[in-house]
Structure formats: C-alpha cells, structure tokens
Amino acid sequence: MASLSFTRIGGGHHQSPVADFAGSRRLAAPATARPGRVALRVFASESRGEPDLSVTVNGLNMPNPFVIASGPPGTNYTVMKRAFDEGWGAVIAKTVSLDAAKVINVTPRYARLRAGANGSAKGQIIGWENIELISDRPFETMLKEFEQLKEEYPDRILIASIMEEYNKAAWEEIIDRVEQTGIDAIEVNFSCPHGMPERKMGAAVGQDCALLEEVCGWINAKATVPVWAKMTPNITDITQPARVALRSGCEGVSAINTIMSVMGINLNTLRPEPCVEGYSTPGGYSSKAVHPIALGKVMSIAKMMKSEFNDKEYSLSGIGGVETGSDAAEFILLGANTVQVCTGVMMHGYGLVKKLCEELKDFMKMHNFSSIEDFRGVSLQYFTTHMDLVRRQQEAIQQRKAIKKGLQSDKDWTGDGFVKESESMVSN
Ligand SMILES: Cc1cc2nc3c(=O)[nH]c(=O)nc-3n(C[C@H](O)[C@H](O)[C@H](O)COP(=O)(O)O)c2cc1C
C-alpha cells in the first residue's frame, strides 16, 4: 500500500554537553512519591571496557534497558519464561483485568502495512494494526503464572499490566491480587485505543485528565510497588495526562501505546481491514512507522519531566517501533530510562534482545559512553522553538556572509543543483 524509504540518523557528534546536561537536571518535584518505594538509580561501570547496559529504575535492577512491552509477547508463562531466558531486561505481561470473561476477541485481529511498490506482499512490514483486546485468559491463571515466574526467576523484573473499570473497589482488588504474586511493579494501561474504551477503560481514562487523576489516586493509595502509567498518543497534548499521573503518585510514565488507525480498505471487496464478517473497527497502529511519532511524544514528556519533576525519583519508558539498537538509543537520548518492544518481538522473536544489546553497545563504544546514564537525555537540549531556529539560522547566515563561504540566500541560486545549493546555505 505504501512505498517508503528511510534514512537512518547517524550517531550524535557532540559529547561535551553530557556533563552539562546531567548537572542541569532540576530537583523540583511534587512530594507525592511514596517513601516505601526506592528512587531511581543507574549503575555506571567504572572501567572503560565493555559498555555497561544495566539500569536500576525505581529501585528495580535490570541487566539491560530492554523491556518486553505488554502484548502478545507477554501472553503466558511459556513466552515470558522465554523472554527471561533470552535475556530481556524486564517483562511486562499482557494486560489483565479481574473478569476475563468480559474480554471477547475476534479474528482476524491484525493487519499489516508493507513498504514497497503497492504494498507488495514481499515488502518489509513497516506498520501493524491490531484490534486485539487485553488478556482474555482467566485472571486466576495469569496470577498463578506470575507467581511461578517469580519463584523461578526471583532476581528478574516482572511487571503486571492492569486495567479495570471506573470502580475504586475493583482497582483495589486487582492491585492487591497482582501484588500478592510477588510481581516487582505495575504498569497501568490507560491507553488501549480500541474495544476497552467502550467500557470506560484504557484510553477512555488516559484521555480524561480528571478521571485519570481520580483513578491514579485510588491506585497509588493502594499500591506498594512502583507504578508506571502507560499513556495513549491519541490525545492533543500527551504531557497533560503524563503530568497528572506523576503528580498523582505514579513513579513512571510509559509512552506510547498504539495510535488509533484504519489500516486500509480492500479495493476489491470495498471492506475495511482487518475484516471480521465483512466489518471492521478502528484499531491500534504500531511498528516502525510509529517510531517518529513515539519519539515526538517521548521528547515532549521528557521535557516536561525534566523541568517539573525530580529525575532521580521518576522514570520514563520509551515505546514504539523499536527493532534496532539505534532505535533504542534515540529514546534514551531523549531521556528514556528503559525501552519497550512489542511488535518487533512478534516479527523477529525473543532472540532480538541479543541484537538490540549488541547494537546499543556499538553505539556506546562509538561515543565512548560507558553507561546508559552517560547519554540519557543528552539530545533533549537540541529541541527548541521554530522561532529560535529562525534566529539561529539568521545568525549563522550572517557569519557565513562574513566569511563569504557558500551561498548566502535563495537569490544566489544559479539553478544548477538546487539540493546542493540549498544545502550549501546551511552546511558551511
Ligand atoms: C497485537 C498487540 C497487542 C497489544 N496489547 C497490549 C496490551 O494488552 N496492553 C498494553 O498496554 N499494550 C498493548 N499493546 C501495545 C504495545 O505494548 C505497544 O505500546 C505498541 O504496540 C507500540 O510498540 P511497538 O511498536 O514496539 O509494538 C499491544 C500491541 C499489539 C501490536
């Protein structure tokens, strides 16, 4: 359906801002973090040998920042065990609710967008739409599996993803019961865009700051483990619910969940896809195509967190279209402590984590970074307003005029090689 080509961004080229940036993080946050929960800390390796990928986020030690995002890769005991065995830093299970009998899935529930001529079946998958709901497996079964995993992997981080209806008692019960299994943290799904909002769940809460504040209040009064709030991108300003969640006591924010989408229309049948008995419903978009959108949302949240919250107590988890170590490095450069992967695992398998770790280490070696904290948030400072870009460019042009190098403005174009000539205006 689409023909696209991508240019990967090379690594950054300025190392000097690293120390400045780390020193400039502000320590002004609302005093809502529970005293019982441990603050964020990241281990830096002492030697300049192999880069250290380990992170400690909200007191949770992970061998690397790569986290299985809630979804099919965290459906049951077998696949979560597999994720631990392959070396994922942490696993977030598929979202659970108290009454799985109310969750009724349909098939087909996935549709894919491929790059290449007219969506050729051979083109690389770049976009993925799903109309899958949260877990339809019995809650008690999921609880038993969490318990078993924590017994077998006591040192690994297992995070329960939860969602409930607008009912305080239900939220208190689900938190109590998942915590009894020994899980290390909770991610609250305020973000599934399809199906669940019809029951005032998921994105219906994440899109309504008043509702979100009330529900986060219930959750954080009950929870004794760290709580991450998973944000929906289907909102005008994602910093608003992120701020509300953190002010209401959540220790972390995860972003993004899927983007509301319609994958396409079959031009033979005139029916939308994925097509269930001739009909469809808008679903959630993920995979490579959403990566730039996710980076934009994470950048906005990170800027807000940097200016309003204490970086040592709050965490940010970047999600969306991660398939390479470079994709992950971008989220971390914007301030993410961890990076989650869902569709990438569905396409490439659990062994993907090894490639992600190697590629992230290669990036770190290239810049002589020894720990994740060495470069976390470093690129955030290079985002500014358009007016500031104009000012900076005018200054640069003035300087170039002074040294008479390259073209000074459009009026100097000769018409031979527009791209080269326009680039000469900014690269000299
Ligand atoms: C098939 C599918 C099912 C998903 N189910 C859940 C879910 O149960 N809970 C949740 O919080 N996110 C769910 N997600 C969203 C992912 O966790 C993730 O936020 C999103 O897909 C973007 O990341 P990605 O591009 O790495 O897939 C699901 C995504 C997909 C593709």
Domain range annotation of the chain: 17-382, 386-427
Average pLDDT over residues 226-251: 97
Residue nearest to atom 14 of ligand 1 (CA): 71
Residue 131 confidence (pLDDT): 95
Residue 120 confidence (pLDDT): 67
Measured from the CB, is residue 407 less than 6 Å from ligand 1?
no
The dotted CATH code for 17-382 is 3.20.20.70
Q: Supply 72's token pair.
A: 């099919």
Give the ligand 1 atom nearest the CA of 256.
Answer: 19
The 10s digit of each residue's pLDDT in 256-298 is 999 999 999 999 999 999 999 999 999 999 999 999 999 999 9
Residue 391 confidence (pLDDT): 98
The per-residue pLDDT of the chain, averaged, comes to 87
Residue 228 confidence (pLDDT): 98
Rounded Cα gap, residues 190 and 201, in angstroms: 7
Rounded Cα gap, residues 315 and 420, in angstroms: 43
Residue with tokens 């994709």: 327
Best CA proximity match to 364, nearest among 340, 324, 329: 329
CB contact at 8 A, 371 and 378:
no
Residue with tokens 């209806």: 165
Strand partners, 60: 57
* Distance in Å, CA 29 to ligand 1 centroid: 30
Return the beta strands (E) in 17-59 as ranges: 55-57
Measured from the CB, is residue 344 less than 6 Å from ligand 1?
yes
Looking at the chain, the number of H-run helices and the number of E-run strands are 14, 16
Average pLDDT over residues 392-415: 79
Alpha helices in 325-417 (DSSP H): 325-333, 343-348, 352-367, 372-375, 386-403
Rounded Cα gap, residues 255 and 169, in angstroms: 27
Residue 302 confidence (pLDDT): 98
pLDDT band at residue 53 using 50, 70 and 90 as cut-offs = very high
Q: Supply 184's token pair.
A: 């290390």
Average pLDDT over residues 33-42: 43
Rounded Cα gap, residues 230 and 187, in angstroms: 7
Residue nearest to atom 1 of ligand 1 (CA): 130
Average pLDDT over residues 219-238: 97
Average pLDDT over residues 308-319: 93
* Distance in Å, CA 264 to ligand 1 centroid: 20
Say whether pLDDT at 43 is over 50: no
Residue 196 confidence (pLDDT): 75
Q: Are strands 125-130 and 283-286 parallel, antiparallel or unpaired?
A: antiparallel
pLDDT band at residue 30 using 50, 70 and 90 as cut-offs = very low
| Phi, psi values for residue 148, rounded to 5° | -60, -45
Average pLDDT over residues 121-142: 93
Residue with tokens 């929870």: 223
Best CA proximity match to 258, nearest among 227, 233, 288: 233
